[in-house]
Chains A and B, each alone.
Chain A
């Protein structure tokens, strides 16, 4: 060995370069170290290079340049010391929980007589003992991840590589996973936890922040947040004009980022600028400014050079949706039954014109079913829905022409160029001739798509895919927008840009229905409804839900995620009581 590896490091990577032939290498010279008994975070948006780095550490891929050392040897020599949980395909969906464990035990060469004890420990640890004979494919997202973790732990490895264990997992299971990993670090295991959720970064002992294959930051998360600690403020006191206030604030030179937080707005002030007071912000006579704790995301945004301006070009060029007292979206007792399973039961709400409405809930709780019923993709078993005043059953075609839709997964035509996709969607929404040309030109300019106009949509960088999807959804200037997990996996600057557009559109009178699992994004909504186990368990403005949760748990200033967990816990307790009473 040229340089000795410090004794307190289980895995070390130096100058890792890996290219798959794209314009930019997937990893452009990345250093990383995992220490025993600590959780090391590998944080970054989709496409940052996290999975590539983990696969190199696990010995599944060789880097083009740089060296990897696991406990002083190459990954191939130390395979027995590495526990690896891949993002997907780790489990055999047709095998039961127990059979999966057995398979991994055999693969790991765990002696037969030791197996029983290990399984018992792991099943207790993951709380899966009750589900031993259930096929892995029938588990919920959270339970799958726990089983995946258990499979990676059949032999206790000194190094545990976890590739996005938090994806597709509801906040409650996510907390449980973190608690499990904390247990493991007590045993001295070095854990590398990769994630696209920036709030998870704050839970790590040290963090490597990746973006487009480059390391933006490494060190304890507090170092990143500490650098901006006194530059984050919460501004309140402008009643219902919060969207306008945010737009104005973001257009200022000294504000580099801002988000809506219920009725408040949260601002990050650029380095070297004095923190403005209420008078300087000029947002109204009752404005109050208070410091608020910095978050990892704020630091990331600053590293990326700040968020976008507050004024949305899309909204500026959008038509004004005429005011109306009739609800833009209405759900009346929507119920959908699949065989013996009720996916959504009696879901009702109304969204007035010009509001953002959030559908929240864990995966599989019924929010997608509700969403699909409202945009006409699923026929309700009972109940009715209407969009822009058109009943979904009787005038589906009219309802469809007044809505814009953006799917969770990228669902444009990947083999068609950007321009051809725009042409197709213009035609699909009845735009022809000059109208179509004008609409295409408008969105091309707004979303800066000229540079990629001839490129196949499937090969675009993630951010541009998202922009193109939004462009296709709004070309015909619909009065209602349906967005299914629109910002999943994109970097925070891209998320800001996205919400800037949404805020601008809402101010133009567009009604937005959005599903999201980012609890902070729920704060952008005027109203949210929380769907859990096929039912609506709470509805109201974000602040009201937070207050409700505060009353339940006694917490002083709960976050949206705290509210989510408290309300679900309360619902579970209620259900148990009902079950006992019956």
Chain B
């Protein structure tokens, strides 16, 4: 028996044509994912830039001056607003004129001059905790750099830590978001396309026509899997190129591994999409179904919040989420040249999810044939 029968070929050609002949659905394939990638990249930036910081300088000494100038000179800060009193500082933070204020005590310069360690006060706006914390990090980095310059031997003796951000030395958050977005956006598009396949046949009344033909169930399903797979692989590679060449995110891993991982990831998503489609009677139901599936898949993937922070029972649920695995792979392949052995560790769960969801979709397809 030939593996590729004329039936399978006819099915694949028909599915691809069905996707491409309709101008609307053709537009949906590539443009929206690309636009999403661009918008999300800028919208979900975690960098804190162009913020104003308040300053209550009770010392007025040369060292205090130098520190303030360094802060002013750093690209993260726009302006240093000098505040005359603690009261003025309270008001500035309350009215959100500044997100943080630096308090330099009157003995700051004297302590440094005496060779003692001086302390800085930093008041942060806790209502914007994420940005404030990042800002706190910037300030303490500047302060410790200055301290190290003044008394290199002190810094070493005190055992203060020197932070190096591996894989993303300048902490550019695009380096984190873009690889993740490749995983997320490919999943949204893949699920949406696949979920329409069987439901479309049912709604248009062509399902019966298909079922009375000698076409086998596996041929029908294989035919329906090919177009979303092609679109997904195409979009995945396109996003990789956009991330690398338009945004300068380094891709340090193996491209071949990326393709293998992408393939398995797509199969897992297509399995889930077919499951949604097989249980829907109309295209509208399928659309809602894919929407219902997509949101938890993204939230549980670890993209929005670290999986380690989730309650234990929810952490177990995330093991069924294909995005979880591919997210690790794609981040690893972009930034840290993840070796094949580590990648494969994430791939076998994807293969299992793909096998189970595809088998379930085939079963449901048969069960709901009537």
Contacts and interface: CB of A to CB of B under 8 A. Distances in A.
B317 interface: no
B304 interface: no
Interface in B209-250: 209-216
B352 interface: no
A185 B365 CA distance: 53
Nearest to B211: A377
B225 to A, nearest CB: 17
Given A411-B205, A424-B10, A427-B7, A378 B370 contact: yes
Contacts of A415: 17-18, 21-22
B206 interface: yes
Contacts of B209: 405, 407, 411-412
Interface in A415-447: 415-417, 420, 423-432, 436
Interface string B18-47: 100110000000000000000000000000
Given A413-B14, A427-B13, A482 B214 contact: no
B208 A426 contact: no
B214 A377 contact: no
A397 interface: yes
B117 to A, nearest CB: 75
Given A400-B214, A430-B7, A424 B13 contact: yes
B156 interface: no
B338 to A, nearest CB: 42
Given A400-B214, A401-B214, A407-B208, A432 B6 contact: yes
Contacts of A409: 205
B370 A428 contact: no
A372 B212 CA distance: 10
A336 B369 CA distance: 15
B275 to A, nearest CB: 22
Contact of B18 (A372, A375, A413, A428): A413
Contact of A377 (B5, B22, B205, B370): B370
B333 interface: no
A379 interface: yes
Nearest to B10: A427
A308 interface: no
B9 interface: yes
B11 interface: yes
Contacts of B6: 426-427, 430-432, 436
- Residue from A407, A420, A428 with most neighbouring chain B CB atoms (10 Å): A428
A375 B212 contact: yes
A403 interface: yes
Interface residues of A, number: 35
A473 B188 CA distance: 38
B62 interface: no
A416 B18 contact: yes
Contacts of A407: 205, 208-209
Interface footprint category on B = 20 to 34
B212 A405 contact: yes
B212 A376 contact: yes
A423 B213 contact: no
Contacts of B204: 411, 413-414
Contacts of B210: 428
Contacts of A427: 6-7, 9-11, 13
B218 to A, nearest CB: 12
A413 B214 CA distance: 18
Given A428-B11, A430-B7, A416 B211 contact: no
B211 to A, nearest CB: 6
B213 A400 contact: yes
Nearest to A421: B14
A411 B208 contact: yes
Nearest to B22: A415
B10 A426 contact: yes
- Residue from A376, A403, A410, A411 with most neighbouring chain B CB atoms (10 Å): A411
B7 A377 contact: no
A417 B20 CA distance: 12
A428 B213 CA distance: 6
Given A424-B10, A427-B9, A400 B212 contact: yes
A429 B212 CA distance: 10
A378 B368 CA distance: 11
- Residue from A372, A377, A425, A431 with most neighbouring chain B CB atoms (10 Å): A377
Nearest to A424: B14
Interface in B175-215: 204-206, 208-215
A412 B208 CA distance: 10
Nearest to B14: A424
A445 B212 CA distance: 25
A409 B202 CA distance: 12
A379 B14 CA distance: 28
Interface string A94-123: 000000000000000000000000000000
Given A430-B7, A436-B6, A412 B211 contact: no
A432 B2 CA distance: 13
A519 B209 CA distance: 26
A480 to B, nearest CB: 11
21 contacts: A376-B211, A377-B369, A378-B370, A409-B205, A411-B204, A411-B205, A412-B206, A412-B209, A413-B14, A413-B18, A415-B18, A420-B14, A423-B13, A425-B10, A425-B213, A426-B6, A427-B10, A427-B13, A428-B210, A428-B215, A431-B6
Given A376-B211, A413-B204, 14 more contacts: A376-B212, A377-B370, A379-B370, A407-B205, A409-B205, A412-B209, A416-B17, A420-B13, A420-B14, A420-B17, A425-B213, A427-B7, A428-B11, A430-B5
Across chains A and B, which 4 residue pairs bring their CB atoms closest together, nearest first? A427-B10, A432-B6, A401-B214, A411-B205
